């Protein structure tokens, strides 16, 4: 039950299905104290250090689910930071606590923030057709798709073709260089999955189109636009985009591994650290650190990255159903709504690249924040990584 409550918001993959009811708005503030008249924080207790330490204990080459983990918990009630495991299973050296890692779909929060900035500047209309800016990219068949529908995955554009979902298929193509325009052309040549705005299907293609939109409106390369608007102003010096041909993680980092079952029942930990992420681009190729992602999360939720009027899009879930499960939608513009077992609502974004599971999350009032990178041995698996789940539960325990 705990896993189900969290996976709705933290795991990537769901979709959509029927017509919309009213959007789910951001969580209402906690009731004011009768004594002070102030709004009570959603989380008022310090981080549970013992629970957090236990959640990441014993990681390494013999652990079933992860070889390393980096965790930062913050907020108004206190802070905790820790690491566990090894940076390299061959040498056994300790995990690099300030190491860089592939943050996967956490990239979408950065992409969404830039799009919302451009909307605040009047350079694009969230409810206007994206084809207005990209007539040569988005065909007439998708002429009704709006910028907002790309942001919250309600566009109906299907996924682009790829090498397949299996690890071995992706491993064989790990160094392929992918062009975003080719991906979009492949996707929009297909029939739409549903009428725009009537369902939600979490797909990278939406943010690939948004990356092209950012380039068209700003006249800059996607990575340069994010750098100028977010990375440099916030001093995120450990965050970067690898570029279309880069396969390495530059700077200190913990290596990532995929567990491969062997015929004798044992397993091989295959090193998956070097991988070209151009197929994810504006949807998932960012490299970062826990310190940088924490700073970004606090600045974002505080309204220092996106103006408050536009920021509400990141805390508003469209009132539609998931295309695949039929459950209520959970994704917003760049984030997702996460309901914890005790009813506390948090907002965040997870990301998975082979060897790396990452997430940012916080309560709306920033009374509790969480950033983690777990070197999961099945980072793209269907189920949520048990170490990551343990970290979330420990971080938000009151």
Catalytic site positions: 105
Specify whether the CB–CB gap between 359 and 106 falls below 8 A: yes
Residue among 256, 338, 346, 234 at smallest CA distance from 66: 256
Q: How far is CA 267 from CA 64, 300, 357, 381, in A?
A: 10, 41, 20, 16
If phi over 0 gives left and psi between -120 and 50 gives alpha, with beta otherwise, what is residue 12? beta
Tokens of 357: 């599971």
Question: Would you say 101 and 289 are in contact if contact means Cβ atoms under 8 Å apart?
Answer: yes
Of the candidates 254, 350, 249, 248, the one whose C-alpha atom is nearest the C-alpha of residue 60 is 254
Across 313-342, b (16+ Cβ under 10 Å) vs e yields: bbbbbbebbbbeeeebbbbbbbbbbbebee
CA distance 371 to 358: 7
Structure tokens at 299: 């600045």
Q: Which residues, in sequence order, are bridge partners of residue 86?
A: 94
CB atoms within 10 A of CB 132: 14
Q: Which residues pair with 143 in a beta bridge?
A: none
Q: Report CA-CA distances (Å) from 168 to 109, 126, 164, 165, 376.
A: 29, 39, 9, 9, 17
Which residue is it, tokens 């102030």?
38
CA angle 235, 370, 351 (to 5 degrees): 80
């Amino acid at each position: 039950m705990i896993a189900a409550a969290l996976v709705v918001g933290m795991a990537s993959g769901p979709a959509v299905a029927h017509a919309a009811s009213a959007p789910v708005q951001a969580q209402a503030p906690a009731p004011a104290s009768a004594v002070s008249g102030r709004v009570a924080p959603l989380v008022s207790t310090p981080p549970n250090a013992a629970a957090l330490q236990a959640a990441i204990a014993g990681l390494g080459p013999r652990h079933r689910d992860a070889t390393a983990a980096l965790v930062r918990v913050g907020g108004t009630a206190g802070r905790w930071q820790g690491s566990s495991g090894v940076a390299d299973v061959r040498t056994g050296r300790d995990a690099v606590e300030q190491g860089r890692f592939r943050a996967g779909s956490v990239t979408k929060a950065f992409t969404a923030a830039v799009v919302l900035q451009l909307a605040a500047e009047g350079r694009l209309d969230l409810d206007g057709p994206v084809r207005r800016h990209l007539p040569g990219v988005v065909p007439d068949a998708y002429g009704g798709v709006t910028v907002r529908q790309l942001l919250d995955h309600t566009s109906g554009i299907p996924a682009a073709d790829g090498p397949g979902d299996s690890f071995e298929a992706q491993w064989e193509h790990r160094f392929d260089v992918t062009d975003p325009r080719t991906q979009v052309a492949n996707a929009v040549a297909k029939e739409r999955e549903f009428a725009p705005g009537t369902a939600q299907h979490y797909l990278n293609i939406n943010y690939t189109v948004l990356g092209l939109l950012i380039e068209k409106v700003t006249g800059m390369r996607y990575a340069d636009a994010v750098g100028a608007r977010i990375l440099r102003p916030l001093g995120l010096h450990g965050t970067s985009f690898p570029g279309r041909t880069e396969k390495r993680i530059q700077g200190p980092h913990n290596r990532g591994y995929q567990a491969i079952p062997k015929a004798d029942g044992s397993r091989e930990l295959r090193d998956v650290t070097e991988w070209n992420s151009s197929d994810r681009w504006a949807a998932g190729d960012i490299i970062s650190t826990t310190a940088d992602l924490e700073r970004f999360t606090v600045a974002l939720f505080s309204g220092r990255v996106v103006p408050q009027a536009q920021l509400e899009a990141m805390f508003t879930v469209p009132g539609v159903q998931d295309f695949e499960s039929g459950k209520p939608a959970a994704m917003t513009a760049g984030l997702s709504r996460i309901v914890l077992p005790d009813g506390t609502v948090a907002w965040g974004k997870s990301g998975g690249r082979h060897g790396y599971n990452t997430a940012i999350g916080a309560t709306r009032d920033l009374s509790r924040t969480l950033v983690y990178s777990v070197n999961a041995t099945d980072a793209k698996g269907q189920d949520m990584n048990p170490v990551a789940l343990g970290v979330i539960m420990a971080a938000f325990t009151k």
